[in-house]
Structures are given as structure tokens and as C-alpha cells.
Chains A and B, each alone.
Chain A
Amino acid sequence: MKLVLRYSALLAILAISIGPFLWQFATSIKGPNEDVFVPDFIPDDPTFGNYAAVADVVPVWTFALNSLGVASVNVITNCLGAAMAGYALARLKFRGRKLAGVIFASSILVPFEAILISLFLVMRGLGLTNTLTGVVLPGSIAALNVLLLRNAFLALPAEVEEAAVIDGANAWQRFTRLALPSVKGTLVVVALFSFMFSWDDFLWPLVVLSDQEKYTLTIGLAYLQGTFVQNQRLVAAGTIIAVLPLILLFLLLQKHFFRGVGEGAIKG
């Protein structure tokens, strides 16, 4: 009896969480002759034609490619750059280490929205407005990731590295061969979050990009909605294109994710 109650409650929340996505998917496969306003989750005559049609009105695959490029670069720069800085903060002794730590910590406190306009001026000064490089750069090595990886490196036992020092390994070798492989769990979380953050980002690309062929998916979709709102099937197809890769990626990595999040919170 208790189990029945538990599962009914779980199923109710499940419906609330993914129902809206299912409705959007149902809309995206409804044919041109079917009334999209009728609350019918299973179309009479399902078609994937809308996915092809949406590409005729906006270059949705170009948007997707732009998003993919931006997100992939963001993952690489964050994993590598943040790991390097985190390693130096955790494992190398030098003058100015505290200062470097304070710079990273204080930049976490700056809300992005507060520097939005000023950051745009920096990009314009660098001649990088309306470029995908300009989209990537500000978040390319997030201070939060630096501190996350610093904590992960701090948790590693020191003995292994001390042995490597005696064997004559330099700092870079110890970093790439010993330290980096030991923080794989944290790296997966950093990679997943970097991809998600970049793929989902809206405000910054909206401000920095102006040409349609440079658009990422998020601003491309907002544009699609503004222009072609009368055909809801196309907007729905566009949103499914934007959300499906992330859902697949998350399903693939979800074990690491829930474990990594748990670890982080406990050690926090």
C-alpha cells in the first residue's frame, strides 16, 4: 500500500516534469492538416517533415553546429585551463599563491549580469563582437571550475607525487601523468556542466552576436519564435532539436553526475 502511494506520487511528479516536453514533441510531429490546438498527445498521422521544414525557414543546422562548436571548445578550455590553474593552487608552492586564489574566489562573486554591458565593450575593443570566439571567451575558464579542481587535487594523497619528484618528474609530467587521471570524476562533472552551460547560454550570445549565420541555437530559436510563431509545429521541432542532444548526453553520463554532485556536496 505504502509502495503504491510512493509510486503514484513519483509518477505524478514525473508527469509534471516531462509532460511539457512530450507535448512539445507531439506538436513537432503533427502534420500540416492536423489541428495543433487539440489536446491530443498522439498525432493521427505522425510526420518528421517539420524537422526538415524548420531548416527551410531558418538555418537551424547552422545554429546547431555553432552551438556544438562553442560548447565543445568550452569543455576543452575549461577542463584543461581550470585543471592547470587548480593544480598550481593545490600542489605547487610559490609566492603569490594566496593572491591568485583570491582573484579566482572574488570573480565568483561577480554576477555575470552586472558586467554584461562592460564585457561587451571589452569584446568590442578586442574586435571580437559578432564572432563565435567572442561568445566562448568569457566563460572559457570559469573560476568556479578552477576552485572545484583545486579541491579535487587537494584531496589526493601527497606521497605518490613525492615519489615522482624523487624520480625526477617535472611539474608538467606530474600534472598530466599522475594528478589529472586521478580527478577524472570531477573532470566529468566540469565537462558536463561546461557543455550544458555553453549550450544553454542565452543572454551573452544575444548581446554579442548580431548576424543570423553566427547565431547559436538558443538565440536562433528565440528568433524563430519571433518570426514564425504562427506555425507552432516548426518552433516545436526547433526546440526538440535543441534539447535532444543534451538529454542524450545526460543519460549517458548521469551515473557520474549524481555521484559527482553527491561527492562535491559532502566534501563541500
Chain B
Amino acid sequence: MTHRPYTPWLFLLPGLAVCIMFTIFPFLNMIVLAFTDASALGSGQFTGVDNFVRMAQDPKFWLAARNSLLYMVCVVPPLVLLPLLIAMLAQKIVPGIGIFRTAFFTPVIASAVVVGLIWTWLLDSRGLVNNVVEALGGTRIGFLTDSTLLLVSSMVVTVWRGLGYYMVIYLAALANVPKDLHEAAMVDGAGPVRRFWSVTVPSLRPTMVLVAALSAVNGFRVFSEIYLLSGGSGGPGGASTTMVMLIQLTGRGLTGEVGYASALSFVLFVILLGLLLITLKLNRREDQL
């Protein structure tokens, strides 16, 4: 033995304590609470599946679920494709490339709050974007006052902020694409578009699946962008509320319905886990090909 039997546990103690107290325990407790009528003040009574029955009849839940789902479906394609194109552009080492890469990554460093505030100002009814629209002969658009446009604006912000993040993932993957494949294709007379579809895309497919999964999960979890662009209200009449926002609004404060919020959290967890399992399955199929 090179160490006493309890030594490893001393090394693990802080990490395990944080993990169990602040992730594992709250997670298990969330599942228990989902089947109770707990409020902010008391732990409540066991109520079986009442919370889930209520959810099925709650128009707010369906609205939030629809918004989150719509959000996810709309942000994934641009987030899979655009960062790849940017990565291909930023891959080649040319003078000043470090500056460009760093600049492209800036929106990722800035917090969702900073980004949200900047875009709230850009998309203001009298903001910069509307000034451009007007200069081009259009009429001012209520980006932040219409519930559909608010969702679309928020998606644009999410995509804008994700470009640099997924670019880095693609950059790392592109470094591993064998050069001779490209050269062979070039010898065969394949143009850049042809090479993109028949060399780059196939060899990056696992990375693209990963980016699709990450952006889907993050899209479904959206909170900050919607919160800030709507000034915390979830849009006119709360029509742009998403799942996480609904959980936060339901469970928070002295009037918080902890039981119902936990049931909503449970559904969120199941959906996200489902997304993850689908990705793993897709990845496994890739391996078999």
C-alpha cells in the first residue's frame, strides 16, 4: 500500500460533498416533491400524479413547452451549419487570424445578460436595427413588443452568441480531418463546394451530431435571452414564456408552488435526457457505418 485506506476519501471529500449536497440530493428531492402539493412554506402532502394531471390541463405549460420546442427546432440548423462555415474560414493560418478568432469568440465570453441588454438596445423600437430598416425604406418593426417576433429575436441572439462557441469545437475537429483526402479530391477535379459536401461534411459528422445535441439541449433550456429581451415579463401577456422561465416563475417567492414547479422540472429533465439518449443512439449508428 502506498497510502492509508482513508487517504483517497480525504481527497474526494470536498468534491463528493458538493456534488451530493447540491446536485444529487436536490435532484432526488425534486422527484419526490413532484408528487406532492408542497408550497414555499411547507413540505406538503403526497398527492400522486395530481401535478401531472394539472399540467396536462394547464395552457401555460403547453405554451411554454411549445415555445421551448420551437426554440430548439429553430436554433439547431443555423447553429450546426454557420459555425462550421466560420470555422473553415478561420481554420487557415493567415496573418492576424488570432485577432479574428478572438473577436469571433467575444460574444461567448460576454454573459447572456450583457448580450441580452446589448440586443435589447439594438432591437429597440427606435434602436439601431430599426434605424437601418427605416433607412432602407421599411417601417419600424416591433421586435420586442410582438410575442412571435420576440421569440424570433431571441433566437437570433442565441445563434449570434453560439457562433463563436461552436466555431471552437469545429476548429478542433477540422484539425483532425486528414489533409490527403482534400488533396485527393482536388486531384480528381472536385471544386470547393463539392469538397465541402463529400470530404469535410462526412469526416465531421460526429462533431456535427455533437453540436446539434449541445445546441438542442441549450435551445430547450433557454432562459436569459427571453427574460432580458422581454424585461422579465415573458413577452406581452407572458406569451413568449419558455419552460425554464415557467419553472422559475412558478416556484419562486413566498407564493411559490414548489410541488408543481418540481413536476415541471421533472418533465424538463425527462425531455433533456431523451434528447441526450437520441444523440447517443445517433452516434452509435455513425460508428457502425
Q: Which residues of A are at the interface with B, using a C-beta cutoff of 8 A? A: 3, 6-7, 9-10, 13-14, 16-18, 20-21, 23-24, 27, 37-39, 77, 81-82, 84-85, 87-89, 92, 94, 96-97, 100, 103-104, 106-107, 109-111, 113-122, 137-138, 140-141, 143, 146, 165, 170-172, 175, 196, 199-203, 206-207, 217-219, 221-222, 225-226, 229, 232, 235-236, 238-239, 242-243, 246-247, 250-251, 254, 258, 261-262, 264-266
User: In the complex, are the beta carbons of A202 and B112 less than 8 A apart?
Assistant: yes
The dominant DSSP class at the B interface is helix
Chain A residue at minimal CB-CB distance from B130: A37
Task: Given A116-B247, A117-B262, A120-B251, decide whether A13 and B25 contact each other with a Cβ distance below 8 A.
Answer: no
Interface residues on B, range: 35 or more
B223 neighbours in A (Cβ, 8 Å) = 113, 202-203
User: In the complex, are the beta carbons of B8 and A94 less than 8 A apart?
Assistant: yes
Looking at the complex, which one of A6, A37, A104, A262 makes contact with B92 (CB distance below 8 Å)?
A: A6
Task: Given A17-B164, A88-B12, A222-B232, decide whether A122 and B221 contact each other with a Cβ distance below 8 A.
Answer: no
Distance of B124 from chain A, by nearest CB (Å): 8
The dominant DSSP class at the A interface is helix
User: In the complex, are the beta carbons of A104 and B26 less than 8 A apart?
Assistant: no
User: In the complex, are the beta carbons of A18 and B103 less than 8 A apart?
Assistant: yes
User: In the complex, are the beta carbons of B272 and A27 less than 8 A apart?
Assistant: no
A181 to B110, CA, bound (A): 30
Question: Could you write out 29 A-B pairs with CB less than 8 Å apart?
Answer: A6-B89, A6-B94, A20-B119, A24-B121, A84-B14, A88-B12, A92-B3, A100-B12, A111-B272, A113-B223, A113-B244, A113-B265, A117-B251, A118-B265, A120-B251, A137-B22, A141-B18, A221-B117, A222-B113, A222-B232, A225-B120, A232-B124, A235-B121, A238-B117, A243-B109, A247-B106, A250-B109, A254-B98, A264-B172
Looking at the complex, which one of A6, A100, A119, A235 makes contact with B16 (CB distance below 8 Å)?
A: A100
A88 neighbours in B (Cβ, 8 Å) = 8-9, 11-12
Given A117-B261, A202-B113, 6 more contacts at CB 8 Å? A81-B15, A92-B11, A111-B272, A117-B258, A141-B14, A222-B232
Q: Is B194 an interface residue (CB 8 A)?
A: no
Task: Given A17-B107, A92-B3, decide whether A121 and B173 contact each other with a Cβ distance below 8 A.
Answer: no
Chain B residue at minimal CB-CB distance from A92: B8
Distance of B176 from chain A, by nearest CB (Å): 7
Distance of B78 from chain A, by nearest CB (Å): 13
Q: Is B136 an interface residue (CB 8 A)?
A: no
Task: Given A88-B11, A121-B258, A143-B19, decide whether A116 and B110 contact each other with a Cβ distance below 8 A.
Answer: no
B86 neighbours in A (Cβ, 8 Å) = 13
A234 to B158, CA, bound (A): 24
B139 neighbours in A (Cβ, 8 Å) = none
Task: Given A111-B268, A115-B30, A236-B121, decide whether A221 and B262 contact each other with a Cβ distance below 8 A.
Answer: no
Most chain B Cβ neighbours within 10 Å, of A20, A38, A200: A20
A254 to B164, CA, bound (A): 13
Q: Is B248 an interface residue (CB 8 A)?
A: yes
Q: Is B201 an interface residue (CB 8 A)?
A: no
Q: Is B127 an interface residue (CB 8 A)?
A: yes
User: In the complex, are the beta carbons of B118 and A110 less than 8 A apart?
Assistant: no
